[in-house]
Chains A and B, each alone.
Chain A
């Protein structure tokens, strides 16, 4: 029996309500510097509304561009791996190696290379988003049914025909699964990049978090974190919606 629609909405709303009550009760007993009340966070949103909105747009743009760069490189890399087993053997270990590098340690290097500003956040977002896109696209391209591949070869299809008509469309459920992960990571990557590579112009969420920390404005930190969470959720939902639109017609759920 499926869960009624109203329960699906009401259950998380009830959890949020209880959490806010608990938060309010806890904040009444703890210093506001350590834990601001929900009201104090709302006041911070009110007083810094314009800055928070601009910062969310900047961080969102950096995360989005980072995701685009990661997608282009990840999908391109997967196509190269599919085309050449030698390239796959030569490059895949380094892709794995790239995945193991902590982005926090790489971000200062990005500042050295790219200077202060959004390019660091874009680079950082691209770095953390790249691997999920690469691995999901690679797995999707390799997952074609051997009989379908044999069918294409019976008609002497070219590599490009096999990609265009079989492997690329068949890989989309896998790709969207990876993109959903990458969409969340891109926001984290952008904010890490902003921690290290932003001087406050333009305003961005990573910088606002640092600013709030230095000024002991914990309410601002909470507000910036909330904006970051909303941003990551919006990315996740956008990618999921796009996946459902493109793939849901023939693949339940829109991703693997």
Chain B
């Protein structure tokens, strides 16, 4: 399997006065796989994702994501980041509007994306009329509407209650299909349940302290939470943190 995202010898610091967040950091994420990144709060997981997206530039080293055309990369932030004055349909269609997709084509893609996350009936509502979980699903639909090759998820479930989070795990896993996914999370169970591989990061400067393949069958149901193999993986990750 080829790598969709590669970071080689990456240095990064937010300002010259601060210690380096990344120093000679290397990581590769396989194409078509779901890579979960876990680590302590404030370690720089979100910054790593922003580097992968090209939202911030590395001070040194190389970051390659293989994206040539806008729309091939999508990003789901910690908050839904929906525009409150636009309906759900208009929010989900925003990337296509920015890319200049014709209205007819855009409407069809938006309908499909909303259907994939189960929000067709709420298409004409404003975000404020929706629950946090529904807003997060809309955020995912917006990310999927361009059929991205690379999907970067920055703790998309962190602000949700446990029940909504568990429901959304299924929605997300079904929706991202063949895309390469990098999921940043601080929830170890979530990482193991959703990913093909879990990368455990240590604190500054960022380093990989464990890199574990997740050989659990797909599709993964909620029942898998009680599987001893999952428990074993969670134990290994906890031990490495």
Q: Do A and B actually bind?
A: yes
Residues of A participating in the B interface, judged by any CB pair closer than 8 Å? 145, 147-148, 150-157, 161, 165-166, 169-170, 247, 249-251
CA A147 to CA B53, docked complex, whole Å? 13
Whether B53 lies near A154 (C-beta < 8 A) is yes
Q: A166-B83, A169-B85 are in contact. Are A151 and B77 (CB under 8 A)?
A: yes
Q: Given contacts A165-B97, A165-B98, are A250 and B85 in contact (CB under 8 A)?
A: yes
Which residues of the partner chain A approach B85 to less than 8 Å between Cβ atoms? 169-170, 247, 249-251
- What are 19 sample pairs from A and B whose C-beta atoms fall under 8 A apart? A147-B78, A150-B50, A150-B53, A151-B75, A152-B98, A153-B55, A154-B53, A154-B54, A154-B55, A154-B70, A155-B71, A155-B99, A165-B98, A169-B83, A170-B85, A249-B126, A250-B128, A251-B84, A251-B85
Known: A165-B83, A250-B128. A147 touches B77 (CB 8 A): yes
CA distance A251 to B84 in the complex (A): 8
Residues on B facing A (Cβ under 8 Å): 50, 53-55, 70-71, 73-75, 77-79, 81, 83-85, 94-95, 97-99, 126-128
Q: Report B-chain residues with C-beta under 8 Å of the C-beta of A166.
A: 83
| Residue of A150, A152, A154, A166 contacting most chain B CB atoms (<10 Å) | A154
Residue of A151, A153, A166, A249 with most partner-chain B CB within 10 A: A151
Determine the chain A residues whose CB is within 8 A of the CB of B55 once the complex forms. Answer: 150, 153-154
Determine the residue in chain B with the shortest Cβ distance to A247. B85
B84 touches A157 (CB 8 A): no
- CB pair B75–A148 under 8 Å, yes or no, is no
Beyond known contacts A148-B81, A155-B99, A165-B94: 14 more, CB 8 A cutoff: A145-B79, A147-B78, A147-B79, A151-B94, A154-B53, A156-B70, A166-B83, A169-B85, A170-B85, A249-B85, A249-B126, A250-B126, A250-B128, A251-B84
How far apart are A127's CB and chain B's nearest CB, in angstroms?
A: 32
Nearest CB on A from B103, distance (A): 15
Residues of B near A151 (CB, < 8 A) are 75, 77, 81, 94
Q: Are A154 and B75 in contact (CB under 8 A)?
A: yes
In the bound complex, what is the Cα–Cα distance between A58 and B74 (angstroms)?
Answer: 56
Separation of A151 and B83 alpha carbons in the complex (Å): 11
**Most A CB within 10 A of own CB, among B55, B85, B94, B95:** B85
Q: Report the minimal beta-carbon distance from B76 to chain A, rounded to whole angstroms.
A: 10
Across-interface contacts of A147 in B (CB, < 8 A): 77-79, 81
CB neighbours (8 Å) of A148 from chain B are 81, 83
